[in-house]
Amino acid sequence: MDRTATKPLAALALAAFGIGTTEFVIMGLLPDVARDLGVGIPAAGLLVSGYALGVAFGGPLLARLTARLPSRRALFLLLGLFIMGNAACALAPGYGWLMAARIVTAFCHAAFLGVGSVIAAGLVPPEKRAQAIALMIGGLTLATVLGVPFGTLLGQAAGWRTTFWAVTVAGLVAFAGLMFWLPKGNEQRRNLRAELRALRALPVWLTLGISVVASTSMFTFFTYITPILTDVSGVEPSYVSGVLLVCGIGLTLGNFIGARLADWRALPSLAGILAAVALVLIGFGFIGAVPLLATTAVVVWGIVAFAVCAILQAEAVARAEAAPNLAATLNIAAFNLGNAMGAGLGAFALTRGLPMAGVPALAGGVAFLALLLTTATIIVTRKRADLGQCCPMTS
């Protein structure tokens, strides 16, 4: 990686770390938030759903509103909104204010990561673009490994508002780093009409569809990973946090493996990885009752499942050549829509009588659907390539 790109990429990764932490740390602080604001756990849990839906639907809207701004200016505006949103969370006097502040913060989540992905790709040569995007997205994975557990500990020790102040500080540091290190020559003006026209391409929407389905599979399993480990696999509750920590390391490793594969052969690699995800999850039904084997399967799942994310984000940017910012933003929104759908699918299946031991197989079935969609995308892409070779004037 070029040394001139390392510092701005690190600042982008720090911002992504803050974004990932503020999204997921609320799950570890639910009892504290509920008690402090005088609401029940279910109501506090809606702060998670509200954020995810804010990302899914607010991100594309904010991306459209900032479309006419140069990419560098849009990045700073979105990061500033993120900083103010977290400060508002820390200062929220009641539940309604906290929910509103969470949604405002969520709005800039997808748009920032979308614009940031394109800027990150522009900092390096074309053959290293997926690696640059993965370095920035790596901040999200580190948030699950470090930000969420340490943010939870901080909130439990000093109050949940302290955690949001800490994320606010991380955002300010990232803002300052980008001000000093992000090259001004990286600034681009965007044409919204041209971007919308570019999004008509079928491969772009197939990629977004894969993101939704793959993320649904991931969160069908991930949402219920703790009761699966304790109730199905017999892992001692005191050991679950250690398993999740190792799984988080696997997620980080998978992110960079996926980036290498994306720079090599993206779609064939994606198909192979999704096949591995489906096999691991379905195979969990046969080995899940053995704690050591279940733990190993969870770590392997973490590696292959998150390798998917880096490939799809790079693929979304590549497929929409004239609309990379909007495509990257929509892809982040697609992931978050899948997050909400996965948690909902698992809850629906469990309330309909599916045993907890059946959740991994359900998630594996969804991963298989993502594999079928990937196969269809490969076929469409090859046919378009053949048509372009035969008929160069065809657009």
At 244-277, the pLDDT tens digits run 778 878 888 888 888 788 777 788 899 999 999 9
* Every domain range in the chain assigned CATH 1.20.1250.20: 1-182, 192-395
**Helix/strand/coil (H, E, C) string of 59-108?**
HHHHHHHCCCCCHHHHHHHHHHHHHHHHHHHHHCCCHHHHHHHHHHHHHH
Count other Cβ atoms within 10 Å, centred on residue 240. 18
Residue 182 has pLDDT above 80, yes or no: yes
Q: Which pLDDT tens digit goes with each residue over 58-76?
A: 877 887 787 778 888 889 9
**Cα–Cα distance measured from residue 91 to residue 161, given in angstroms and rounded to the nearest whole number:** 7
Q: Which of 164, 159, 162, 121 is nearest to 21 (CA)?
A: 164
Rounded Cα gap, residues 93 and 179, in angstroms: 32
Within a 10 A sphere around the Cβ of 126, how many other Cβ atoms? Answer: 10
Average pLDDT over residues 33-60: 81
Residue 188 banded pLDDT, cuts 50, 70, 90: low
Q: Which fold has domain 1-182?
A: Growth Hormone; Chain: A; (1.20.1250)
Q: Please, which pLDDT band fits residue 54 given cuts at 50, 70 and 90? A: confident
Residues 283 and 335: beta-carbon distance below 8 Å: no
Nearest to 259 by CA among 144, 129, 378: 129
CA distances from 317 to 2, 118, 122, 255, 324 (A): 21, 7, 11, 16, 5
pTM recorded for the entire structure: 0.74
Which range, 150-164, 275-289, 324-338, has the best average confidence (pLDDT)?
Answer: 275-289
pLDDT, one tens digit per residue, over 237-247 is: 777 777 877 88
Tell me which amino acid residue 352 is: R
Architecture of domain 192-395 in CATH? Up-down Bundle (1.20)
Confidence of residue 51 (pLDDT cuts 50, 70, 90): confident
